[in-house]
Structure 1
Amino acid sequence: MAKLVSYGDNGQGILCGATVIDDFWLVTAAHCALQLQTRSFVYVREPKNNRERSFSVKEAYIHSGYNNQTADNDIALLRISSDLSKLGIKPVCLVHDDSKLLKQYKNGVVIGYGLTLGEDSSGEPKLINSQTLQSTSVPIISDDDCVKTWRFLSLLSVKITGYQICAGAYLHGTAPGDSGGPLLIHKSNGEYVQIGITSYGADGLDGVIDQGKFPGVYTRISKYVPWIQGVIGKTSMRSSVTSSSPIYFNFLPIFSIILTVLW
């Protein structure tokens, strides 16, 4: 898991998530990459000492089919300046076909540096800044249920496709600032496989609190493995891509935080 921070000369910037998928490459959401400004950095931690390291983003590749109105093809690749494998950072596993995983595992894991739920002085829920990496388990919502729910919530204006996947439950989901981060399956052998990229959810506090009622929507990354491989320019990434058998309402298409950078 990586933190993506980008800001301009005025000190205003964005916070998103990203995931290491190869020595020099990370995957994130297209709507995050479209907001990259003058200075863009990814922050990762070295496994051996948990030290945070930052690397400048050299290139961003946004999927040509990305639609900022529908959030279709909400995926982008970032190339950084240094080889992360030299720090002992391993890429996440991807699969060409996630159907067997989704039959075997009914829950996923989301992680990110985005906002978390807290309480105001009167005890009412509110979103607060998180200073640490957060994670939670999320039930995977079936395609049919997600399609029906979003059709109802959006009065037929939002169409969930086979290139997306939904997840979430009451008090289990993503929030602003988690965009671009991963939806993972934690396999019984300890391996993590990324199946989704945080894309969007329902607007407002209710959409953050109950993502069973208002499902979080993720880009289904298995559908984009050939595109990823084509951009990186390899027939297969370094052991990170496996076969499927082994690794409104206004909707909120920008699950990133607009922040003021203090450094």
Structure 2
Amino acid sequence: MYAFHRLRATHVYFYKSCNFLKIELLKIFQTAPFSRSSQNCIVNGIQCSNEPWVVEIIVLHRQKWKHLCGGTLIHPNWVVTAAHSFFHPGKENQPFAPKNAYKVCIGSPKLCSGIQYNISAIHHPSFEITWDRKLVLNDLALIKLPLSIPDHLASPIPLATNSKECYVNRTGYIFGWGATTKNERDINDFSPYLQKGSVTIADNSQCSDITARLDDGKICIDCDQSPSVACNGDSGGPLVVKQENGRFVLIGISSYGDRNYENWDIYTRITAHLEWIHHIIKFHDVELFMNDQKNLIDTSLD
């Protein structure tokens, strides 16, 4: 979650975040100070206790496990995250690491901690990205866990289900272990503990004027009106809104940001992909999943 400087690119930048990507990322992106017309700094996220549905995905590199991105537990056996995190930046369709090089960390707000499970990711079949940063579609992946996560360790969050709800001008909340450094060249400076920030959700038509390709499958965040913004390391993390009873519902997944105008962050909209999510999980136990989600929603309305 960050801060004073952010990666600058021709059109968008991704919160691709591994510290061992330092050289590769600097080849792809140019660095420049981040500034606002109305302020000379961005308020950082705040450290928070472990949210029971926020998870961290780590990757094996040079015999060490490193932070990759965030994710969200939506079922005792399933996590949702961003598809682009599993592909090498700047090299279309090239996996970032072997399939057996990923784990998920659950149950701890501390970086690279908690209970760890080996995982495999299922990317959205229509996921598409061009690394000239002109096209990003269906940036979503599901991760099947090897066993059900017990309630005392973590608990799923309900998914948003109302596709007509746009959440414009609502306050959303983001979570992650992303970069906090002021020096954008030192992109390996992740938060040692989970951070929480608040953001303002904008109308997609405003954002489309800038990104040109913002479809209904995305949610736009107005950075100028947001106390916090996502940064390197926050990809795949949740965008949630608080209901009247104070409980959260998942509406988006952190994807990318527009760097030409430095005003917008883009999230993958959950309600646009419910059918695919349900289709994938039905191979595990769709009835159980639907019942779990109904129970979560019913409980959140208590």
Amino acid at match of 2:237: G
| Structure 1 contact 6–15 (Cα < 8 Å) conserved | yes
Matched ranges for 1:92-241 at <5 A: 92-100=157-165, 102=167, 106-118=170-182, 128-151=189-212, 159-170=213-224, 171-203=227-259, 213-233=262-282, 234-235=286-287, 236-240=289-293
Within the alignment, does 1:41 sit opposite 2:84 as a pair? no
> Size of the alignment, in residue pairs?
223
Deviation digits for residues 118-148 of structure 1 (CA, Å, limit 9, x no counterpart): 3x6xxx9986421111111000011111101
Return the structure number with greater strand share. 1
In 1, the alpha carbon distance for the partners of 2:161 and 2:150 equals 23
In 1, the alpha carbon distance for the partners of 2:185 and 2:198 equals 20
Q: CA offset at residue 237 of structure 1?
A: 3.1
Amino acid at match of 2:101: R
| Structure 1 contact 198–217 (Cα < 8 Å) conserved | yes
Residues 232, 167 of structure 1: CA spacing in aligned structure 2 closer, same or farther, 3 A cutoff? same
Aligned to 1:64: 125
Amino acid at match of 1:217: I
Gaps of 5+ in 2: 1-53, 88-95
TM-score, normalized by length of structure 1? 0.74
Deviation digits for residues 164-209 of structure 1 (CA, Å, limit 9, x no counterpart): 1111424521001100111110112121111110011134xx97xx
| Structure 1 contact 3–42 (Cα < 8 Å) conserved | yes
Residues 238, 89 of structure 1: CA spacing in aligned structure 2 closer, same or farther, 3 A cutoff? farther
Amino acid at match of 2:173: V
In 2, the alpha carbon distance for the partners of 1:93 and 1:36 equals 30
In 1, the alpha carbon distance for the partners of 2:124 and 2:201 equals 25
Q: CA offset at residue 54 of structure 1?
A: 1.2
Aligned to 1:253: none
Q: CA offset at residue 33 of structure 1?
A: 3.3
| Structure 1 contact 16–178 (Cα < 8 Å) conserved | yes
TM-score, normalized by length of structure 2? 0.66
Amino acid at match of 2:129: N
In 2, the alpha carbon distance for the partners of 1:101 and 1:68 equals 24
Q: CA offset at residue 88 of structure 1?
A: 4.5
Q: CA offset at residue 112 of structure 1?
A: 0.4
Runs of 4+ with deviation above 6 angstroms: none
Q: CA offset at residue 239 of structure 1?
A: 2.5
* Superposition RMSD in Å: 2.9
Tell me the secondary structure at the aligned position of residue 192 of structure 2: coil
Amino acid at match of 2:126: G
